[in-house]
Amino acid sequence: MNALFRLAVAVVVLAGTVLLPGSASAFPGAFFPTQSKGNRGVDVLAVQYLLRHHRQGPPTDGVFGASTDTAVRGFQSAKGLGVDGIVGPNTWGALAVTVRQGDQGDAVRALQVQLNQKNGAGLSVSGSFDAATRTAVTTFQRHGGIAADGIAGPVTWRNLLWHYDYPSMSGICDKDPDNNGRVNWGTGATAGQLEEAVRRFAGAGKGAVPLGDLSKEHGGSLNGHSSHQVGMDVDLWPIRSDGQQCSAGRITWRSSTYDRAATRKLVRDIRASAPGHVKLIFFNDPELIREGLTSEWANHDNHLHVRYCEAVHPNSLYRC
């Protein structure tokens, strides 16, 4: 990407950091990740379990669909919050009740799924805050530099929900073009939406999807990238006509082995898996650009850069 874009990213990232609530957060800039209709993933699943704790009744499928939107609005109305269907800081703050050892129910399930996805706790999602759950809470608190009291209160919830998720690698092959290692961490929504896109694409029988870099576990600067700092940028390689995109070298849209139809399907699956939450897809295939599926940007002949977005985000580059 050109120098002007790199400068714009740096300025906005710095500006966003100033605006983030951080005085009581272990991770610098930790905040409640906004979720709304069209999102999917572990953070949506936590919303759904917490809504059930508060006697709302959405399904617990990790998909922010119409029924979850209705439940969020019902909860917001009951709590005297602005009724917009968006789970932002105020709604999260009302949803995420403090839980501790001995507690039972759906709020504990919300905590358990978060600990499993964000910190590999391996808990049974039983809804029982048992000794194993308390140990998992203290382990995460130490990981994040939070006072390790084993109680999931507001600070623990905010840091846990903000913490990035590592997507399932089913149907994905991990590529590392910039020698950054396994930097495949993304927000809960990014991970869930990417997983769904890959699941849909698998039906084409065109092989696995090559994944380049995403973000570090806690974000921050990444070698070879001017973005990829907030867990919402994903690099994917185009699909080859021989299905060897995971074993053979990376190609461009000009290559004889480039499969435009399969790459088009991948792009469409990405968009369909996160309706209203795909900010842009950079890829320089002129036909896909003509179809309105991707946008042109320098140095994006050989990979797709997917940027997800949220209704509210501290960094304007990631607002829908």
- Domain harbouring 118, CATH code: 1.10.101.10
Q: What pLDDT shows up at residue 25?
A: 56
Residue 4 counted as domain residue: no
At 248, which CATH number?
A: 3.30.1380.10
Asked, for residue 157, whether it belongs to a domain, the answer is yes
Is residue 120 located within the same domain as residue 231? no
Same domain, 152 and 177: no
Q: What is the pLDDT of residue 176?
A: 84
Please give the biggest Cα pair distance in the chain: 62
Last residue of a domain, one of 99, 129, 162: 162
Q: Which residues contact 252 (CB under 8 A, 6 or more apart)?
A: 238, 258, 301, 302
pLDDT in tens, 281-298: 999 999 999 999 999 999
- Is residue 72 one of the residues assigned to a domain? yes
Q: Provide the domain count of the chain.
A: 2
- Tokens for 236? 């994917």
Helix (H) or strand (E) holding 308: strand 304-308
114 and 226 part of one domain: no
By the 10 Å C-beta count (0-12 exposed, 13-18 middle, 19+ buried), 91 is classed as: buried
pTM over 0.85: yes
Residue 256 located in a structural domain:
yes
Domain edge (last residue) among 162, 184, 208: 162
Beta bridge partners of 87: 35
Residue 17 located in a structural domain: no
Q: Is residue 294 part of a domain?
A: yes
**75, 97: one domain:** yes
- 214 and 152 housed in the same domain: no
How far does Cα 310 stand from its chain's mean position? 10
Q: Which domain holds residue 285?
A: 172-318
pLDDT of residue 12: 35
Question: Do residue 178 and residue 114 come from a single domain?
Answer: no
Asked whether residue 189 falls in the same domain as residue 311, the answer is: yes
Residue 280's φ and ψ, nearest 5 degrees, are -165, 160
Note down pLDDT in tens along the chain; length 320 residues.
Answer: 333 333 333 333 333 332 233 334 578 889 999 999 999 999 999 999 999 999 999 999 999 999 999 999 999 999 999 999 999 999 999 999 999 999 999 999 999 999 999 999 999 999 999 999 999 999 999 999 999 999 999 999 999 999 999 999 999 999 987 888 889 999 999 999 999 999 999 999 999 999 999 999 999 999 989 899 999 999 999 999 999 999 998 999 999 999 999 999 999 999 999 999 999 999 999 999 999 999 999 999 999 999 999 999 999 999 99
| 303 and 255 share one domain | yes
| Position 80 in a domain | yes
**pLDDT at residue 23, rounded to an integer:** 34
pLDDT value at position 5? 35
- Do 137 and 184 belong to one domain? no
Structural domain ending residue among the three candidates 143, 162, 181: 162
Helices (H), the chain: 3-19, 42-53, 66-78, 89-95, 106-119, 131-144, 154-162, 188-202, 260-272, 286-290
pLDDT tens digits, 152-202: 999 999 999 999 999 999 999 999 878 888 899 999 999 999 999 999 999
Instruction: Report CA 233 to chain centroid distance, whole Å.
Output: 9
- 38 with 112, same domain: the answer is yes
Residue 74 lies in a domain: yes
Domain identity same for 76 and 118:
yes
Same domain, yes or no: 312 and 208: yes
CB 310 within 8 A of CB 34: yes
CB-facing half-sphere around the CA of 293: CA atoms within 13 A: 20
* Cα 320 from Cα 50, distance rounded (Å): 25
**Sheet with 233-236, side-by-side order of all strands:** 172-174, 209-211, 233-236, 304-308, 278-282
